[in-house]
Amino acid sequence: MADLLKAKMIVDKNYEIAKVDERIYGSFIEHLGRAVYGGIYEPEHPDSDEQGFRTDVIDLVKELNVPIIRYPGGNFVSGYNWEDGVGPKEERPRRLELAWRTIETNELGTNEFVDWAKKVNAEVMMAVNLGTRGIDAARNLLEYTNHPGGTYWSDLRKSHGYEAPHNIKTWCLGNEMDGPWQIGHKTAHEYGRIAKETAKAMKLVDPTIELVACGSSNTNMPTFPEYEAITLDHAYEEVDYISLHQYYGNHANDPGNYLAKNMDMDHFIKTVISTCDYIKAKHRSKKTLNLSFDEWNVWYHSNEEDKKIEPWTVAPPQLEDHYNFEDALLVGSMLITFLQHADRVKMACLAQLVNVIAPIMTENTGRSWKQTIFYPYMHASVYGRGISIKPILTSPKYDSKDYTDVPYIDSAVVYNEEKEEVTIFMVNKNLEESITVSSDVRSFEGYRLSEHIVLENDDLKAVNTASHQAVTPHGNGQSTLEEGMLEASLPKTSWNVIRLNKS
């Protein structure tokens, strides 16, 4: 039976937004819960390699093709002494970790993380502590990681067995410094000043690095977007990106409203772009500042469980959200939102990667598995590289509790010229009905339909576990392509990946 609801789209190769910076498919590993210990690193696990890294987890991370991984925090970094995590393991101190009130053993530190990142083919995005520490610790860490040799800190690295510098290119100037929960929380003026001075010193050590200044922790912060404006008023010329963080949840169990939340993300991005451009104009600057959305995800399922965790234990199961099918849909829509802003959002980190609000879960010394959100993230990362094309979409709409005129269809298109491939990502948010999307793709002459992948499930609350993958994609999507017209039927509440190619 034909779908009652219909949408129309024009996909023209001339409507370029920008080349997608592959770093928008980044992720994040913090010293928090079981992300590091029991997640990426577990020497006791039967599948661990000679350095204690879980090879099952390495394989899953590689499937996601993650280009850059933020480390070591997060809130953790604001109390971290990086020196605790280098040198002989038996000499490393156990410390009270104040951000998450656990014990940090420091068994894994900077060098081991760089080694692990190489194994998963990712770059490192390193954060420095601007909470309890400042310029000195930051410039010393950079000298340790990036200076070739012949100085105190670079020779210390060599003495630790790392002859060649790590050459870490991307650095975060602290974490969520606008948040009262942050150790060493700062007003915008306090932060703007220290961000500028730390940036100056770090770029003297290594002028090739790129720096990310902290923006607001979410759109509900009372200081948003003043925090960005004041910070950049101080540090605009010294930094290269401003960060955005945002997590969503479905506390009210209102799926229609929940699935619309990427509209808030879109508003967040537009507001930060305007703020950057206002400061650019104010400073008569020639430089355009880009955005690093370096924490984003769904986060709410584990909130109550986390309250029961005893303090001062090693690697407790914190922030272990078990994602359901509707979460995967919102994650898909958030990825679409990044692609729609490919001209200004140059980095983004799904927070986080393993066990802690993550697409990958593990059992201690046991199995690992893919959460529901693994799939849209993997599809976007693997197929979403090329030029982001602006689809001209006319979709039926709905109103929800917090949003009006929510399009049922979200869409982003990526054209990979070298591979002669076009990928159309779409979410159908309609809770009851499938929708036919008719797309004019005539500008892609000679292209044929290669596959239509669908993630769908009758139960919005279906979850994946170690023993049962209830939510997995299939390749039986209903699409046809004839004479440049693509007709696709998108099932109710579904994530769709339609791929065209020439070969």
Structure tokens at 330: 């919102």
**Residue 352 Cβ vs ligand AHR, minimum distance, rounded to whole Å:** 6
**Residue 102 Cβ vs ligand AHR, minimum distance, rounded to whole Å:** 12
Distances (CA, A) of 82 to 56, 95, 141: 28, 12, 7
Number of residues that bind ligand AHR (CB under 6 A): 10
Site mask for ligand AHR (CB under 6 A), range 60-89, x = bound: -------------xxx--------------
- Residue in 175, 333, 337, 439 binding ligand AHR, rule: CB under 6 A: 175
Please say whether the beta carbons of 250 and 324 come within 8 A.
Answer: no
Nearest CA-CA partner of 424 in 439, 434, 436: 439
Angle at 201 between CA 196 and CA 202, to 5 degrees: 95
- Residue in 42, 83, 176, 266 binding ligand AHR, rule: CB under 6 A: 176
Q: Which CB sits closer to ligand AHR, 73 or 225?
A: 73
* Calpha distance 146→157 (Å, rounded): 10
Does 451 qualify as catalytic in the annotation?
Answer: no
Distances (CA, A) of 301 to 305, 323, 324, 356, 463: 8, 8, 10, 11, 12
Q: Assess 352 for contact with ligand AHR (CB under 6 A).
A: yes
**Residue 377 Cβ vs ligand AHR, minimum distance, rounded to whole Å:** 15
- Name the catalytic one among 42, 97, 228, 295: 295
- Residue in 194, 351, 361, 463 binding ligand AHR, rule: CB under 6 A: 351
* Calpha distance 233→361 (Å, rounded): 41
Q: Which CB sits closer to ligand AHR, 351 or 406?
A: 351
Residue nearest to ligand AHR (CB): 74
Q: Assess 97 for contact with ligand AHR (CB under 6 A).
A: no
Q: Assess 112 for contact with ligand AHR (CB under 6 A).
A: no
Q: Which CB sits closer to ligand AHR, 350 or 481?
A: 350
- Residue in 295, 326, 410, 456 binding ligand AHR, rule: CB under 6 A: 295
Tell which phi-psi region holds residue 176, choosing left (phi > 0), alpha (psi between -120 and 50) or beta.
Answer: left
Q: Assess 491 for contact with ligand AHR (CB under 6 A).
A: no
By CB under 6 A, what part of segment 190-249 binds ligand AHR?
Answer: 217
**Residue 49 Cβ vs ligand AHR, minimum distance, rounded to whole Å:** 26
Please say whether the beta carbons of 109 and 85 come within 8 A.
Answer: yes
What does residue 335 show for φ and ψ, rounded to 5 degrees?
-65, -40
* Calpha distance 94→85 (Å, rounded): 10
**Residue 357 Cβ vs ligand AHR, minimum distance, rounded to whole Å:** 6
**Residue 395 Cβ vs ligand AHR, minimum distance, rounded to whole Å:** 32
Q: Specify burial of residue 16 (Cβ count, 10 A radius: 0-12, 13-18, 19+).
A: middle
- Name the catalytic one among 30, 176, 421, 456: 176
By CB under 6 A, what part of segment 416-455 binds ligand AHR?
Answer: none
Q: Assess 30 for contact with ligand AHR (CB under 6 A).
A: yes
Does 295 qualify as catalytic in the annotation?
Answer: yes
Please say whether the beta carbons of 425 and 388 come within 8 A.
Answer: no
* Calpha distance 187→224 (Å, rounded): 12
What does residue 195 show for φ and ψ, rounded to 5 degrees?
-65, -45
**Residues identified as active-site:** 176, 295
Question: Where on the chain is the footprint of ligand AHR (CB under 6 A)?
Answer: 30, 73-75, 175-176, 217, 295, 351-352
